[in-house]
Amino acid sequence: MLRIAQTLTQQLQEAITRAYPEAAEPAAASGQPLDPQLAPASKPEFGDFQANGALALARGLGQSPRAIATAIARQLTVDAAFAELCLEPQIAGPGFINLTLRPERLAAELAARLGDPRLGVERAQAPGGGSAAPVIVDFSSPNIAKEMHVGHLRSTIIGDALARVLEFRGHPVLRLNHVGDWGTQFGMLITHLKQVAPETLTTADAVDLGDLVAFYREAKRRFDDDEVFQAAAREEVVKLQGGDPVSLKAWGLLCEQSRREFQAIYDRLDIHLSERGESFYNPYLAAVVADLEATGLLVIDDGAGCVFLEGIKGKDGQPLPLIVRKSDGGFNYATTDLAAIRYRFAVPPSGDGAGRVIYVTDAGQASHFAAVFQVAGRAGWIPEGGRLEHVPFGLVQGEDGKKLKTRSGDTVRLKDLLDEAVERAEADLRRRLAEEDRSEDEAFIAHGATTVGHAAVKYADLSTNRGTNYQFSFDRMLALQGNTAPYLLYAFVRIQGIARKGGALEAPAQDPLVFDQPQEWALARQLLQFDAVIVEVEEELLPNRLCAYLFELSQIFNRFYDQVPVLKANGPARASRLALCRLTADTLRLGLGLLGIPTLDRM
């Protein structure tokens, strides 16, 4: 319906110009044409679209909003193209113009979707028509030598969904896993392992990752308590970053082991990422600081290389520094993040040539990214038109409203969390099978439980606005009713049920489609909104908008399914209803797929 909305906006603009040339022409000439403010109708009884522009024009024109709306509507009706598209426009309320598409046009739009694998979603056009600049989505980013835990859940799931939507829109997408594989932590860990478990540094898989995590904790404790150890650890970092072969070998082994553990989780969730950790940018760090020095941004303060931020003040009202070179000469994460931005925007072959860079990290890092983005901009690393965006998300909280922890107070491992979701889904399924006296084989149960469990975790996360903290609850996410993955999956299953009972969904569609029930029209209208929702997610980077759409679609479909017979209908009505079923199934499968959630035929 995006294309229709564009057409209507243009027709409205022309109608305004015909009705009020003395106001519209100067406005258009100044590059600020009068905006008809076309929006989707806020309620079904208002039709398909509403134009709110008359209200805003009232003051400038010195007429009542209703009079203006009436004049615009009159001009619309003399436009033959408009009359072909819409019924008579209605003036309502203080001066809204309500527009209703002609039923035959809606039916024709729907029919056009039937053979279309993209379901009406256009491919994004590269500006200038050349090959598009890649979009980089930086997400997940666990730390080497640590296990993935709830803290990585949201970045991983949200980042993957955003990448899928951007890919579907036709952008080349680089999914980058900016793993923590460099920094001080390695100095600590390697120093400690040299002393207590040297074999781990020379032999692959000498210990498992759980032990490594324990070693890491010990190392961290020693680093905090023991000055001698701290000095040794710092020295080790310098060695590593300087390319010492022994340190590098140990580092490589640790990374390889962690990498396989991460991959197990990514495989379960069907998430694809290219690893490009912090270490990748090591060769570029010195150049970053040199660039900052050359542009005059670098200031040495207390021995540290700093860039003082504009508009961000510290404790005593002084500008806050971003430290890019520590007083010991080492670099820190700000330097790495700057090097990443610089590299990602740089023209190939010296960089990625990105047009848009998206960081999916928790909201706590907002000020860090604001600072880094500001410095990158002032250093001239962001090209004209380049977009650099932090996509923040809130904490995962337990049902007590506090940060999610295990009963013993530890952070929750991602693996355990997924396992529990699947176990609970399986218990649910088995109970239901027993209650309904159904019998299914173990493969069916395992596949269904795994799909539902993982889907529930993903959907629960994606369906809330990412900006706010999110309360994690197995009971809520696995519930069979409400805005949950099982509810959506079940709507899809119902359609597959119709297909199994003889509703040949793939048969050539009735032409033209004919509808006579309000439930059919409601479903048709919802199906046609899909393209607008996808474009909105691409722009706003809010997956919950897609979730809300799919939930509404499922609700509207369930109402239709409940109240309008499909297989018992005959002739054109049956064929038209089957077409609605087919499009609903296709939309659910595609939409859920863009969220990283596969569908089931039976459950």
Site for RNA in 186-205 (CB under 7 A): none
Give all strands (DSSP E) within 122-234, no chain letters.
135-138, 173-177
At its nearest, how many Å lie between RNA and the CB of residue 565? 5
Considering the complex, state which of residue 303 and residue 380 has its C-beta at the smaller distance from RNA.
303
Residue whose tokens read 């659910």: 588
In what helix (H) or strand (E) does residue 485 lie, and over which residues does it extend? helix 485-500
Alpha carbon distances (Å) from 360 to 73, 176, 178, 459: 45, 11, 11, 17
Scanning residues 579 to 598, which ones bind RNA (CB under 7 A)? none
Fill in the amino acid letter for 595. L
CA dist., res. 530 & res. 532, Å (int)? 6
- Are the C-beta atoms of 488 and 458 separated by less than 8 Å? no
Scanning residues 470 to 489, which ones bind RNA (CB under 7 A)? 470-471, 476, 479-483, 486-487
Residue 3, phi then psi, degrees to nearest 5: -65, -40
Scanning residues 59 to 88, which ones bind RNA (CB under 7 A)? 59, 65
At its nearest, how many Å lie between RNA and the CB of residue 159? 15
Does residue 366 bind RNA (CB under 7 A)? yes
Scanning residues 307 to 336, which ones bind RNA (CB under 7 A)? 312-315, 318, 320-321, 323, 326-328, 330, 332-334, 336
* Total residues binding RNA (CB under 7 A): 104
Scanning residues 438 to 477, which ones bind RNA (CB under 7 A)? 463-465, 467-471, 476
- Are the C-beta atoms of 467 and 392 separated by less than 8 Å? yes
Q: Which of 586, 599, 564, 561 is nearest to 509 (CA)?
A: 586
Does residue 505 bind RNA (CB under 7 A)? no
Q: Which of 11, 13, 156, 185 binds RNA (CB under 7 A)?
A: 185
Q: What does the per-residue mask of binding to RNA show for 531-550, with x meaning CB under 7 A?
A: -----x-----x-xx--x--
Considering the complex, state which of residue 133 and residue 281 has its C-beta at the smaller distance from RNA.
281
Considering the complex, state which of residue 132 and residue 323 has its C-beta at the smaller distance from RNA.
323
Pairing of strands 274-275, 173-177: parallel
Angle at 514 between CA 511 and CA 516, to 5 degrees: 175
Q: What does the per-residue mask of binding to RNA show for 279-308, with x meaning CB under 7 A?
A: ----------------------xxxx-x--
CA dist., res. 470 & res. 399, Å (int)? 10
Scanning residues 394 to 413, which ones bind RNA (CB under 7 A)? 394-395, 397, 401
Alpha carbon distances (Å) from 26 to 13, 52, 107, 424, 505: 13, 21, 39, 65, 54
Angle at 105 between CA 103 and CA 109, to 5 degrees: 120
At its nearest, how many Å lie between RNA and the CB of residue 278? 6
The residue range among 202-210, 264-272, 287-295, 565-573 that interacts with RNA, by the rule CB under 7 A, is 565-573
- Are the C-beta atoms of 158 and 464 separated by less than 8 Å? no
The residue range among 91-99, 111-119, 374-382, 508-516 that interacts with RNA, by the rule CB under 7 A, is 91-99
At its nearest, how many Å lie between RNA and the CB of residue 92? 3
Q: In what order do the strands lie in the sheet with 49-51?
A: 38-40, 49-51, 96-99, 90-92
Structure tokens at 177: 């896993």
Q: Which of 29, 227, 501, 506 binds RNA (CB under 7 A)?
A: 501
At its nearest, how many Å lie between RNA and the CB of residue 282? 11
At its nearest, how many Å lie between RNA and the CB of residue 50? 4
Does residue 44 bind RNA (CB under 7 A)? no
CA dist., res. 262 & res. 424, Å (int)? 23
Considering the complex, state which of residue 126 and residue 476 has its C-beta at the smaller distance from RNA.
476
Considering the complex, state which of residue 350 and residue 517 has its C-beta at the smaller distance from RNA.
517
Scanning residues 112 to 151, which ones bind RNA (CB under 7 A)? 143
Considering the complex, state which of residue 206 and residue 600 has its C-beta at the smaller distance from RNA.
600
The residue range among 36-44, 69-77, 157-165, 254-262 that interacts with RNA, by the rule CB under 7 A, is 36-44
The residue range among 129-137, 239-247, 253-261, 560-568 that interacts with RNA, by the rule CB under 7 A, is 560-568
**Buried b or exposed e, range 407-436, using 16+ CB within 10 angstroms:** eeeeebbbeebbeebbebbbebbeeeeeee
Q: Which of 496, 552, 499 is nearest to 528 (CA)?
A: 552
